[in-house]
Chain A
Amino acid sequence: MTLSSDSLPQAGLSAEGAAASEAAYDAGQAAGLFQILAPDGEVVRPDLMPDADTQLRLYHQMRRARHFDERGWVLYRQGRLGVFPPFGGMEASQVGTAAALTADDWLFPTYRDTGAALTLGLPIARTLAYWRTSPHGWAMPENLKVLPFYIPIATQYPQAVGAALAEKRKGTRNVALAYIGDGGSSEGDFHEALNFAGALDAPCVFILQNNGWAISVPTRSQTRAVDLSRRAAGYGLPGVRVDGNDVLATWHVTAQAVERARNGGGPTLIETVTYRVKPHTVADDPSRYRTEEESAPWREKDPVTRLRAHLLRTGVLNEESDAALLAEVAAEFEAALQEADTYPDPTPAEILDHVFAEPTPQLRRQREELLAEVEA
């Protein structure tokens, strides 16, 4: 029997198919999403509420991340920051997951995961320097195992497996946590990594931030799959689907996965369902591919206001202490900005630094050429 072309699934979805897919997507969200705090700040799972200190810590980290994102936009417009991919609206997805790690664990962030890196402890000044394309931002701190933001898509996933496996071979209880987007989950590296992690039993936590968009391509055009967490089953791993705008939920689920990995329970895939309310980068114009009506409902699910509403209601926070916290966050940022402003520009020959431990004869020669060119 030969396959005729009309017996094959269509590459693009028909309008009807797209509508059905979207309906299934919405239904999947309603049905399968793990949640602790509803969008209005009401507690859905009181039995799983972390203590007030943890709630406040997560809120503080989300505020730090949001402040970076908001100030980043202003600095970009002022020409004081390079192109950077905003993540505002995704703070719960990044902060909750990264906050489940300790400084001995590995963090593999994508370019959109500034919030996660800040949460693990990447200094704000270094992060600003990175997005200013300064070598000072590329020199990752010695006391953390956070990797520089990954620009290629999905390559960090197999590397996280390797780091996790190395920790296991060295007999530590440290884990590796890596991020990917819904677009990145189409890459071969994503699938190879999940398969490797399962087959080799690596203590790895995979975060799949389903934020709805791979630049201009919506998830429903990215894949026919609706519930991306179910992909884990194909590799023999547990998969969890969590409300990516509920920081208590992302933290709870990730902390559990981290604990399981530490105890030899193996890898987990966590899909955080969220939304990229902002453009792909500060240089992108999303009005070319989506409407404001489409994005607006997600602004109402804002992760920061959700937790804030809860904290105010329960008295963990009041307007006064919230204002004080915001002032503290802003002061921390401005001090870091001042520090970043003191980093000198690189010198031309730095282009040739850090290629090998010892430069090859060819590199030595090219350095002489470069210096002669620059002086000419």
Chain B
Amino acid sequence: MVAAINDALDMALARDPDVHIFGEDVGVMGGVFRATDGLQAKYGVDRVFDTPLAEAGIVGMGIGMGLAGLKPVAEIQFAGFLYPALDQILSHLGRFRHRTRSRYHLPMVIRAPYGGGVHTPEQHADSPEAILAHTPGVKVVIPSTPADARGLLLSAIADPDPVFFFEAIKLYRSVKEEVPTDYVTVPLGKARHVTRGDDVTVVCYGGMVEVATRAAEAAGAAGIGVEVIDLRTLVPMDTDTVLESVEKTGRVVVVTEAPRTGGFHSEISATIAEEAIEFLRAPIVRVTGYDAPYPPFTAIEDVYRPSAVRVARAIRKVMAY
């Protein structure tokens, strides 16, 4: 998947001279995950450049670049390091169009690796997507396949509004597929059916899609038809696709690796409860991380992060209700 992201950035730089990529270590080094590998050599130090180490500065400077008509694509090295920049994001990035009545808008993309499952050090595995999804005026995109990563990133860069693009670290090198080589985009706001089934709807995104799909396969072997829906984008959310599936299955499991309280899984659950409760045959079950910091303890990390076993158990639970 990381190669697909690199390819999308390459294509965006080639297509639009306003696109500028910056962040910590994105230049000579090509990023800690090599997402920007080779781009500085190809496009020069003006368009792909290293910044001082300061997340608020990176986002704040990007906002200024966007105001002045460039298309900034910033990398925050890990999503867990976004927090110093939250003032810039909450106070400005999300509301600049609003506070200038569209005199200014911010076509900025902020890429950030997120999530666990790869034994990173403390604070490198956070899933802060709900904080951003709760921020008016920003979009949130979380791909789960190389082709989606490429197509969604091209859409995000072309989008006139700010987009957070979270990349599951676990998927960078673990998923492989053929991707298009020309300018093929995947629209923001359209969910994807990963599997089809009539019994249970599993809603998930990013790093949890692979986990949910394995659980669906296990359930399928036991004769349970699971429909795995990959949201792809949290803002805007494709509510229609989710509701259609729920009307068919009547049972819902929502999976994220973020902490439980106030997570985006709660938003998905509440939307289903508001719009389709008459179709529900069992209470909605959330499978999530816990209301504790993501554990830095390698030996027991997988207790925190939802596994296929936990998802399969939740599927059995909604079936047995």
Interface membership of chain A positions 19-48, coded 1 if the CB is closer than 8 angstroms to chain B and 0 otherwise = 000000000000000000000000000000
Chain B's interface size range is 35 or more
A356 within 8 A of B: yes
Assuming the A-B contacts A106-B68, A161-B64, A163-B67, are A356 and B161 also in contact, with contact meaning beta carbons closer than 8 angstroms in the complex? yes
A259 at the interface (CB under 8 A from B): no
Chain A CB within 10 Å — which of B61, B67, B97, B239 has the most? B61
Chain A 347-374, CB-CB to B under 8 Å as 1, else 0, gives 0000001111100111000000000000
Chain B contacts for A189, CB-based, 8 A: 56-57, 60, 87-88
Bound CA span A157–B91, Å: 13
Chain A residues with Cβ under 8 A from B60's Cβ? 155, 157-159, 161-162, 189, 192-193
Chain A residues with Cβ below 8 Å from B240 are 361
Q: Report the separation of the CA atoms of residues A145 and B69 in the bound assembly, to the nearest whole angstrom.
A: 12
Q: Name which residue of chain A comes closest to B105, CB basis.
A: A357
Nearest CB of A to B44, in Å: 11
> Given A192-B60, A193-B60 in contact, is the A166-B160 Cβ separation under 8 Å?
no
Is the pair B57, A356 in contact by a Cβ cutoff of 8 Å? no
Which of A59-67, A132-140, A304-312, A314-322 lies on the face that meets chain B? Answer: A132-140
Q: How far is the CA of A177 from the CA of B88 in the complex (A)?
A: 18
The SS class assigned to the B binding surface is mixed
Does residue A288 face the partner (Cβ distance < 8 Å to B)? Answer: no
Q: Does B203 contact A (CB under 8 A)?
A: no
User: Which residue of A165, A169, A357 contacts B161 across the interface (Cβ within 8 Å)?
Assistant: A357
Residue of A141, A142, A159 near B64 (CB, 8 A) is A159
Decide if B281 is an interface residue (CB 8 Å cutoff): no
**Complex interface residues of chain A between 145 and 159 (CB less than 8 A to chain B):** 145, 147-148, 151-152, 155, 157-159
Contact with A along B19-49 (1 / 0, CB 8 A): 0100000000000000000000000001101
A residues in contact (CB < 8 Å) with B: 106, 135, 138-142, 145, 147-148, 151-152, 155, 157-167, 169-170, 176, 188-189, 192-193, 195-196, 199-200, 353-357, 360-362
Tell me the B residues contacting A by CB distance below 8 Å.
Answer: 20, 46-47, 49, 51-52, 54, 56-57, 59-70, 72, 84, 87-88, 91-92, 97-105, 136-137, 139, 159-161, 189, 235-237, 239-240
